[in-house]
Structure 1
Amino acid sequence: MSAVFARVFSSRLFWPIVMLLVLFLINVIAFPGFFSIQVRDGNLYGSLIDIVRNGAPMLIVAIGMTLVIATRGIDLSVGAVCAIAGAVACSILLGSSDPANPGVVIVAILAALLVGLFCGLWNGLLVAAFGIQPIIATLILMTAGRGVAMLITEGQILTVNSPPFKVLGSGFWFGMPVAVYIAAIIFVLAAVLTRRTALGLLIESVGINPEASRQAGVRSRGLLFAVYTFCALCAAVAGLILTANTMAADANNAALFIELDAILAVVIGGTSLAGGRYSLAGTLVGALVIQTLVTTVYTVGIPPIATMVFKAAVVTAVCLLQSPTTNEALAGFRRRLALRTGKGVAAA
């Protein structure tokens, strides 16, 4: 039994799950109907549905960020890429005589994804080919990206009316939000590619020791290109969902601070910023923690401007609980408990 408890407490998912359960408990106390789910017009509605739907764009970005951080990198440009993708899609829809035409919507989506692909290749070029520090390389696009989005929108908020495009953000399919399906597909795709093939091991090896990986024959530059491109594509998808949800492209405020939320979700999930081992399941839990925390702030009645303070408090608490010092203290407590239990059994 003690071995089982040791494995549970040592798991990187233990404290994030505990924090998520605590947030659920606070919501239930403040709002007894928190777990209730209603069916209206064949679709599911409720607080839990809102959490997974609103958290889907952040989870998508966090999945790409997880792989980037696993290579000992960081991508600060994902929010700007979201804004660019939304601006491109809306500008194409507005420039069309029939924005409700599914063919036009498909062209707008593909163009936005293509621009996201180019942004990822740009980041990969700076990091992998020119050896620029990831935080500086992506800071360049973070700074210039919203300016590019402003140029595309000509400094205005572009509002569109396209029911097929709106489905991405607020549509339902078989009772669940479409955004949740998109996030689930990307999560499963990333998990299969990195955990069912050698790709995940190669990414971890580059994050642990890039030079040793290169000498072992791992093409680290190609991997860096791949992860930064995938991260930018995830950001473009998230930008399309956020834009479709509001049906407007706002270059200044679209996906504002989503890069910070994504990094927080990755860190809460147990992935080290030093690179190496990562956990996509942990990122999923971390994203749920962040989005549930935002919901809790609104449910309890705390002013929304204080959300960032509570995010910082939760992240600090989880990181302290996951720290080596805390793990050593818990390990010592388990050893003392095992010794006392053994003595008791021997005396009996």
Structure 2
Amino acid sequence: MKLSNWFARDGVERPLLWPCVTLALLFGLNLVVNPNFLALRMLDGHLFGAPIDILNRAAPLVLVAIGMTLVIATRGIDISVGAVVAIAGGAAATILATQAVPSGALIVQALVAALIVGVLSGMWNGLLVAFVGMQPIIATLILMVAGRGIAQLLTAGQIIPIGAPGYLFVGGGYWLGVPCSVWIATVAVLATAALVEGTALGLFIRAIGVNPVATRLVGLRSKAIVFAVYSFSGLTAALAGILISSNVRSADGNNAGLLLELDAILAVTLGGTSLLGGRFSFAGTVLGALIIQTLTYTTYSIGVPPEATLVVKAAVVLAVSVIQSPAAHALAMSFGASLVKSRGVAR
């Protein structure tokens, strides 16, 4: 393949190229700082090590991001997912707090209640966007503000401790040596990909993102699909809320899921999903979430002050986004073409 073609087509035929390169560079930097970065050890039947820690902490972000992926694919946005995380955790903790020693039935009830409030939250967003016709950012901003207040009401503005072993196992337990949260995120991603890519649903979502007016004119029930997509985003946010509250053994309506919506949007865009809709990649989204979590781990490991972590994260995201931009691809194509032309002249 000609060099010019490589530069011109790397963002089209290899959309995961730059996310993979970015993740590899972050891993390389960590290996320089800590040669044992990739080392794993088994303790009490559980795997421990930096890669496991990154996967475990990235699991809630992956869950939120796959829901966000489908929302963005329809030309939407959901900035309420952080609040939904807090609502779900608060709802579960409130139910568990009704018994000093929660029974198995009560734990199941808490899990189901958390998922239901997440779906209802997503349905509210979907109703406003698909049927009322509100702009997605305004519709979800309403729940972002109100949802944080609802979470604080559920927890009475306090941090509610959670001590139910069955509930804590969901986000803090291990199965086959791997954290349960990693298994849950993996199953969720694979099941979502199988449903969307294995049926016509993926084609419909892409069509809505490309031209929502045309999809309505050809008879596609675009409103119902958009409604379902926002409902699914609420479900994945609630599942992330369960993992987070289980992992930290408490529900905090003030801080749980705070700014998680921004990390989810960054993960989706880093993975190559277009904010203009019509194009998405679950594999890219997972890579984007891993990049963000690995970057967070890296900044702490190399001694970057906590107050500067967000600045470093923003700089890396900006650099990767610029590299992936159409302008950068056009510049690279022009550079490749001029390089090939200069070689031809030299001959």
**Shorter-chain TM-score: what band?**
over 0.9
Q: CA deviation at 1:97?
A: 4.3
- Once the two structures are superposed, the pairs formed by residues 238-317 of structure 1 within 5 Å of their partners are 238-317=240-319
Q: Report Cα offsets for 1:36-70 as digits up to 9, x if no partner.
A: 01111111110000001000000100000000000
Post-superposition CA distance 1:227-275 (Å, at most 9, x none)? 0000000000000000001111100010111000000000111111111
State whether structure 2 residue 128 is matched by structure 1 residue 123: no
Q: 1:187 aligns with which of 177, 186, 189?
A: 189
Give the aligned partner of residue 70 of structure 2: 67
- 2:170 and 2:336 map into 1 onto residues whose CA distance is 49
Partner of 2:39: 36
Task: State yes or no: 1:165 paired with 2:170.
Answer: no
Aligned equivalents of 1:166, 1:238: Cα separation in 2: 13
Say whether the 8 Å CA contact 1:116–1:233 is kept in structure 2.
yes
Q: Which runs of 5+ in 2 are unaligned?
A: none
Give identity over the alignment, percent.
Answer: 51
Aligned with residue 328 of structure 1, among 330, 333, 339 = 330
User: Equivalences for 1:93-112 in 2 at 5 Å?
Assistant: 93-99=96-102, 101-112=103-114
Alignment correspondent of 1:76: 79
TM superposition score normalised by structure 2: 0.95
Residues 98, 104 of structure 1: 8 Å contact kept: no
* Bigger mean CA deviation after superposition, 266-275 or 335-344: 335-344
What count of residue pairs does the alignment treat as equivalent?
Answer: 344
CA contact (8 A) 2:300 2:306 kept: yes
Shift of 1:335: 3.0
Query: Cα distance, 1:338 vs. partner?
Result: 4.4
Among 142, 149, 152, the residue aligned to 2:151: 149
Which SS does the other structure have where 1:95 is aligned? Answer: coil
What is the letter of the counterpart of residue 74 of structure 2? T
Cα distance in structure 2, aligned partners of 1:111 and 1:219: 29
Q: CA deviation at 1:281?
A: 1.0
Q: Secondary structure at the match of 2:42?
A: strand
Q: What amino acid maps onto 2:48 in structure 1? A: Y
Report the alpha carbon displacement of residue 129 of structure 1 after superposing the two structures with TM.
0.8
Alignment of structure 1 residues 47-66 onto 2, 5 Å: 47-66=50-69
Q: Given residue 268 of structure 1, which amino acid in structure 2 is its aligned partner?
A: L
Deviation, structure 1 residue 102: 2.2
TM-score (norm 1): 0.95
Aligned partners of 1:156 and 1:322: how far apart in 2?
43
Residue in 2 that maps onto 1:24: 27
- Asked if the contact 1:72–1:276 (Cα under 8 Å) also holds between the matched residues in 2, the reply is yes
Aligned counterparts of 1:40 and 1:198: Cα–Cα separation in 2: 45
Q: How far apart, CA to CA, are the structure 2 residues paired with 1:12 and 1:341?
A: 28
1:174 aligned to 173, 176, 184, which one?
176
Distance 2:61 2:89 in 1: 15
8 Å CA contact 1:169–1:241 kept in 2: the answer is yes
Q: In the alignment, which of 206, 211, 225 is matched to residue 209 of structure 1?
A: 211
Secondary structure at the aligned position of 1:61 is classed as helix
Cα distance change of structure 1 residues 9 and 276 upon mapping to structure 2, 3 Å threshold: closer
Contact 1:85–1:115 at 8 Å: present in 2 too?
yes
